[in-house]
Chains A and B, each alone.
Chain A
Amino acid sequence: MEEQVDGATTSKPTHTTIEISVNGTVQTTQAATLAALLSDLDYTGVRVATAINDEFVPASSRSTHQLSPGDRVEIVSARQGG
């Protein structure tokens, strides 16, 4: 779908702006992948775990996991617990 949009508007790949939610907050992003989103949000090198639309996305898959409009992204880290 993204390729069709890109192809219709320009000859070179552009970063489409999409609306997603990150940890419950709706925001726009131009990141194409989860890895790019984490980088844009300054999480590079930070130990977090991720899920999109209630499904776990392992760290090894972040660079290939394409973001889609409406995705619900969860970015979590270690906390105190009982």
Chain B
Amino acid sequence: MNRIDKVPGPTSDADLTFYGVTVASRMLLGTALYPSPQLMADAVKASGCQVVTVSLRRETARGKIGARFLELINGLGVHVLPNTAGCRTAKEAITTAQMARELFDTSWIKLEVIANDDTLQPDLFGLVEAAETLNKDGFQVFPYTTEDLGAAERLVASGCRVLMPWGAPIGTGRGLANPYALKTMRNYFPDIPLVVDAGIGAPSHAAQAMEMGYDAVLLNTAVAKAADPVSMATAFAQAIQSGRVAYCSGLMEQRDMAAPSTPVAGTPFFDLEPGSQS
């Protein structure tokens, strides 16, 4: 059977599990770009998310910056998903992942290998190469990828049990640039947790991804750069929850022509011929 021809219908709301870890919230939140560390912490709490992304950078102040940030994150009681942001080759990403595993004491890694500075588009060749090495080395890889099904197949074959296709380029806030391809990917991988990662600008974008059946949404800038990041975090959490409930409830199919919702039978004056009234 063609896996893409999946018929929409009601689905039971099973728990979301990443590599054996069950999370109650379907929102993953980045920790960068907030006006202050405290607002970041407050936004994470308001969102109810249980997974936050972090990174590692050169230490310049004798460890004080990193230590303070780590203390803040650890105090939130959430799962930490380190990224390899900024890496341009598989080698850089692999070494960064190894450093992140030691630093954050987790095997989870959001694997980014970036192909282009303007689009921050994933380098799918480097991504697959790095994923193959990291999966063999015991990592639990969350690859930041595109909707390309061939690359996705390779990632899954290498051992990835989560896929994170982009909605739009990182930081653009343009929403789901290619809904058709994302829908196809969902139908093609019904059993792999799929997370739309990047490009989300508004709660409606997140809801759209969830209505398609995506398992979760990962975002950062849309919350961090909001005028009120804490209330925007709440707005996203509600949209993601709504989208999930809608998906599980089985959305109606679109049609081209109008169809009355009010019953036609018994409509007053319905039996009168046009023009018969004086």
Residues of A near any B CB (own CB < 8 A)? 23-24, 41-43, 46-51, 54-56, 58-59, 74-82
Contacts and interface: CB of A to CB of B under 8 A. Distances in A.
23 contacts: A23-B60, A43-B62, A46-B66, A46-B67, A47-B66, A47-B67, A48-B103, A51-B98, A76-B56, A76-B103, A77-B57, A77-B63, A77-B70, A77-B103, A78-B54, A78-B69, A78-B73, A79-B54, A79-B55, A80-B34, A80-B40, A81-B55, A81-B83
A79 B33 contact: no
Given A76-B59, A82-B170, A49 B102 contact: yes
A51 B61 CA distance: 18
A64 to B, nearest CB: 16
Interface of B: 30-34, 40, 53-60, 62-63, 65-67, 69-70, 73, 82-83, 85, 91-92, 95, 98-100, 102-104, 170, 220-221
Contacts of A42: 62
B22 to A, nearest CB: 23
In terms of DSSP, what is the predominant structure of the interface of chain B? mixed
B69 A80 contact: yes
Nearest to A79: B57
Contacts of A55: 95
B59 A81 contact: no
Interface centre among A23, A47, A55, A81 (most CB of B within 10 A): A81
Nearest to B56: A76
A71 to B, nearest CB: 14
B40 A77 contact: no
Contacts of A47: 63, 66-67, 70, 103
Nearest to B52: A81
B95 A54 contact: yes
A66 B170 CA distance: 40
Given A23-B58, A54-B92, A56-B95, A43 B63 contact: yes
Which of B31, B67, B69, B103 lies at the interface centre, i.e. has the most chain A CB atoms within 10 A of its CB? B103
A49 B32 contact: no
Nearest to B83: A81
A46 B83 CA distance: 21
A15 B229 CA distance: 53
Contacts of B32: 79-82
A48 B85 contact: no
A59 to B, nearest CB: 6
Nearest to B171: A82
